[in-house]
Amino acid sequence: MITVRDLLRFSPSFRYGAIILMVVVVLIILSYFSPFEPDDRRAVPRNEPPSFEYLLGTTSTGQDVFWMLTFAIRNTMIIAGVAVIIGRTIGVLLGMISGYVGGTLDRVLSSIVDSVIVIPRLPLVILIASILRGQITIITLAVLIGILDWAYPSKRYRAQIFSLREREFTQTAVFAGMNTFKIVVQEHLPFLIPFLLADMVSGFLFAIGFEVTLSILGLSDLNAQSIGTMIYWGNYYQALLSKQIWVLAAPIAASVLIVVGFYLMSIGLGTYLDPRTRLKRLEVRG
């Protein structure tokens, strides 16, 4: 919590990112008060341009783009959130095992992790998704993205734990008779949390990018609203050729907004984590 407060106070880019994401959260909350169901077709007049009544216009299947977008953002964030949780859980666990146990196990795990990092993920996802086509749901998609995004984080946690293990306070705690579990939870975890935060942000960026890409290729759950499927259906019904630019502009603008928000937050976190700039900040204040 103190980390977040400091970041909001001292890092402008983190602050702007947080504001953008607040807007996103508001949109997600709004989706629960939508007057329409997510797949209500012909609920409103078709092909209306944006107006006061239909904030972002309507589609050629008679859906209100604004309310569609709130559902889309909600689903995209659910996919990204689940993927991030799965990926980080695997990553943190492997990194901790590697870092604390060490020895042969660490060497085996590290070389596996190094191999997995190199393996290209997009073709693999495409292979899996095309086998599962028709059966894929939002949650399967999230799991799929999650199980591909743990190698790099686990490598970083391992390095972090290695350096923590060698610090003096760890030795002190060991000599003072603190048990291992307590050292890990009370002494080391507080150091890992900022890394976890930065990592989660980049995980969100990765997952959102993948969701959009897969949906546009028609490989995700096309019946569920998400930012990617909105673009897919917009293209499918030729929104561009029939001059209904708002149908495509809404999801495109939303995705740009979300990723830029997350990215600004990650820049803030990055500078916060960099020891050199932290020293600089201290100098300025002192």
Partner 1 sequence: MSLLREFILPRLLQWALVIFVGITITFLIPRLSPVNPISQALGRLTAFQNVAPEAMVELRETLEDLYGLNGSIFDQYVAFWKRVLRGDLGPSFSAFPRSVNEMIGAGLGWTIGLLGTAVISSWLLGLLLGSLAGYFSNRWWSQVLDKLLIFIYPVPYYIVAFVLLMAFTFYLPIFPLVGGAKGTPGLNWEYISSVLHHSFLPAFSIMVGALAFRFIMAKTLATSELASDYVQYAEMGGLPRRKIITNYVMRNTMLPQITDLGLSLGAIFEGALITEVVFAYPGVGSVLYNSIISADYNVIMGITLLSIVGIATASLLVDLSYPLFDPRVRLR
- DSSP code, position 102: -
- Least CB distance from residue 219 to partner 1, whole Å? 7
- DSSP code, position 37: -
Q: Which amino acid is at 162?
A: F
Closest CA to 122 of 155, 148, 89: 148
Token pair, residue 283, equals 């100098």
Give DSSP secondary structure letters for 82-104: HHHHHHHHHHHHHHHHHHHH-HH
Candidate list 43, 90, 97, 112; residue touching partner 1; CB under 8 A: 112
Q: Does 197 bind partner 1 (CB under 8 A)?
A: no
Interacting span for partner 1 (CB under 8 A) from 1-9, 106-114, 154-162, 179-187: 106-114
Candidate list 4, 124, 185, 193; residue touching partner 1; CB under 8 A: 124
SS3 (DSSP) at 175 = helix
CA 88 to chain centre: 11
Q: Which amino acid is at 236?
A: Y
Candidate list 27, 145, 196, 205; residue touching partner 1; CB under 8 A: 205
Q: Does 238 bind partner 1 (CB under 8 A)?
A: no
Interacting span for partner 1 (CB under 8 A) from 18-26, 31-39, 70-78, 131-139: 131-139
Contact of 100 with 165, CB cutoff 8 Å: yes
Q: Does 141 bind partner 1 (CB under 8 A)?
A: no
Residues that bind partner 1 (CB under 8 A): 111-112, 114-116, 118-120, 122-124, 126-128, 130-133, 135, 205, 208-209, 212-213, 216-219, 231, 240, 248, 252, 255-256, 259-260, 262-263, 267, 276
